[in-house]
Amino acid sequence: MKKILYKTVLIAAVFFAFYSTADAGWWIFGKSEEDVDFEYLYINDIAFDEAGDVLTLYRETLSDGLVYIRGKAKASGTVAAVEISLDNKETWNSAKLSSGRAFEYSFTPEAKEYSLFVKITETTGKTNDIDRSNRKIIISDRSIITGIQKILDDMAGAYIQKNIRDFMTKVSRDFTGGDIVLNRAVSQDFSSFAHLDLKLTVASAVSSSGGKISAAINYSRSAFSILTGENYTDSGTTQMDFKREDSVLKLYSMKHPLIFGLSEADETASGITGIGANTDMLIITPEGELEKLPFEDALNKIEGNDIAETLSEITFVSSKSDADGFIFSTGEKIKAAGLFMDPLGSIDIAYFEGDYLTVNKDVTYQMLPPGTDIETISSVPTSGYGKDSDFDSGDYHRKELDSNIQGRCIAFKLRTGNYAVMEITDYFYDTDTLQGRIIFRYRYQSDGTNLF
């Protein structure tokens, strides 16, 4: 609560540092009170400052088929008239002016370019800086479907060419999920596939009066994985939204199935297009590998809190010099260094000798209650983890094993603070040879929570 209060005060301080009833406080922004100007100006609900130098409007999106110029005049004296020119100041037309200085002008456009100027005249004859009000308005008779198709073709081209700079010029600063996240994700996408073929077709597009467009898009995609050389294809329907920025339409949000930014799909997608045509989906795993999964499985993998698990069995066979080791975060079974050699390094657990599990010095554990089922467990405790007091070398410690361990679950708190849970499904130990075998299943949660 305190932090929110501090931040609110900070924002307010920035605001009031510039705000003052005295003119001198505002000299950085806008114009001084004495100037004749417009306080705000909208072209069909698009703010003048956001319109850019050239504003393209699609005729089919015009309310009533009209273009509206709406604004509010400002002057120290009385505003006598507001006039609009659409032909580069050759002719002027009067706008409706209200007593509150609001003005409005509308016209039925043809499919051509208009050069807009706004002239505000005081009763003293003083006018605003007319040239500053200039905007080029292009009325297009093309369907917005065609307009969005062009944007998509350009984006797909930049993505296929792995041109991140060109691609990001088509992404809004307000991209849901963060343009920086999309930038990072797309850069990482480029490292995962080669020879991408992508066909995007706008199935439908609808616009709002404020210049946002929502489009349903049919896609077909074929990609080679850089890591494996395998080719994957998928197709379906997705949705993207676009908003006007710097006079052009830019990508504002995307839904699953994702076309761009697969490397951080949980951050870049803001929803799901639930339609029967979406049967499979390409994803990129955290390791950067391209994979094709059934649609629901892909969503689970992306949105299922990044739970990595194998409920197939992993077998450890003990060895003093060539022990099996395991890393929960990657699911790798690798050879650990020999006993009494260096600490386990990045390995979480290893099986050197028969009656105990060797555990990394930075990993702690606790036994879960008998009867805990690894397949249905929903969480592990957040406290109560420790090391076996019977043996702790400082470099590693041990968890003693016996026949009662079979069927039991052990929860681990790893070096990173993440949690894992392991179920030992089979345990065998030969007291003569001091060698044994462990078979286990595991689940690993990478997002830092204790939830499974």
Partner 1 sequence: MNSIIKEAAASFAFLLVCILEVHAGVHITNEAQIGAGSITGPGEKQSVVTDKGIFSNLLNLNYYRESEKLNYYFNFSGRATNDKSIDYRPFSVARIQGRLSLPRHNFTLGDFMESFSRYSLGASLKGISYSTKLTAPLTPDLTLIYGMQAPRWDSIIDPDNSTKALKREAYGFKISASPLEAWNFSVHYVNSKDKNRIYESVPLYDGGVYGIGWSFDPFAGLSLTGETSFSSVHLKPSSGSLENKNGSANRVSFQGYGDGLRLNLDYERVSSNFFTVLGAASPDRERFRASWVQDYGKNTSVSYSGLWFKDNLNGAKNKTTHSWRPDISINKRLLLGRRFASGDVTLRTDYRRGAVKENNTYLDFGYGDRLGMFDSDTRMGLASFSKRDTLEYIANTSLSWRKSAGLFVFRPTLRLGTRIKDANGNRDLINESSLGLNADAGSAGISTAFQLGLNKYIRERENDSAKLFFNTNFYYRPVFAKNHTLSLRYAVNDFWTDHSGGDFRENSFSAGLNTQF
Q: Which of residues 120-159 bind partner 1 (CB under 8 A)?
A: 141-143, 145-146
| Footprint of partner 1 on 61-80 (CB under 8 A) | 63-66, 74
Binding of residue 60 to partner 1 (CB under 8 A): yes
Q: Which residue has the tokens 């009494």?
A: 340
304 to 323, contacts with partner 1 by CB under 8 A? Answer: none
| Interatomic CA distance for residues 140 and 148, integer angstroms | 13
Interface with partner 1 in residues 20-59 (CB under 8 A): 26-31, 33, 37-41, 49, 59
Indicate if the alpha-carbon torsion angle 80, 82, 88, 93 is positive or negative.
Answer: negative
For residue 290, list its beta bridge partners. 284
The answer to whether residue 358 forms part of the interface with partner 1 (CB under 8 A) is no
Q: Under a CB-based contact definition with an 8 Å cutoff, are residues 23 and 57 in contact?
A: no
Q: Are 30 and 74 in contact (CB under 8 A)?
A: no
244: left (phi over 0), alpha (psi -120 to 50) or beta: beta
Query: Contact, 144 vs 213, CB < 8 A?
Result: yes
When binding is defined by CB under 8 A, the residue of 76, 91, 93, 108 that contacts partner 1 is: 108
Shortest CB 201 distance to partner 1, Å: 5
Q: What backbone phi and psi angles, to 5 degrees, belong to 397?
A: -140, 180
| Interface pick for partner 1 out of 76, 91, 124, 300 (rule CB under 8 A) | 300
Residue from 210, 338, 343, 345 touching partner 1 (CB under 8 A): that is: 210
Smallest gap, in angstroms, from Cβ of residue 264 to partner 1? 11
Which residue's entry shows tokens 């001198």?
Answer: 24
Q: Does 88 bind partner 1 (CB under 8 A)?
A: no
Min dist CB 105 to partner 1, Å, is 14
- Residue 194 near partner 1 by CB under 8 A: yes
- For residues 212-241, which are near partner 1 according to CB under 8 A? 212-214, 216, 218, 220-222, 224, 226-229, 231, 233, 235, 237, 239, 241
- Candidate ranges 18-26, 327-335, 392-400, 425-433; the one touching partner 1 (CB under 8 A): 18-26
The CA R_g of the chain, rounded to the nearest whole Å, is: 32
Task: Tell me: does residue 203 bind partner 1 (CB under 8 A).
Answer: yes
**In this structure, what are the phi and psi dihedrals at residue 151, rounded to the nearest 5 degrees?**
-65, -45
Return the residue of 94, 208, 315, 346 that touches partner 1, per CB under 8 A: 208
d(CA 105, CA 94): 8
Tokens of 346: 């990045």
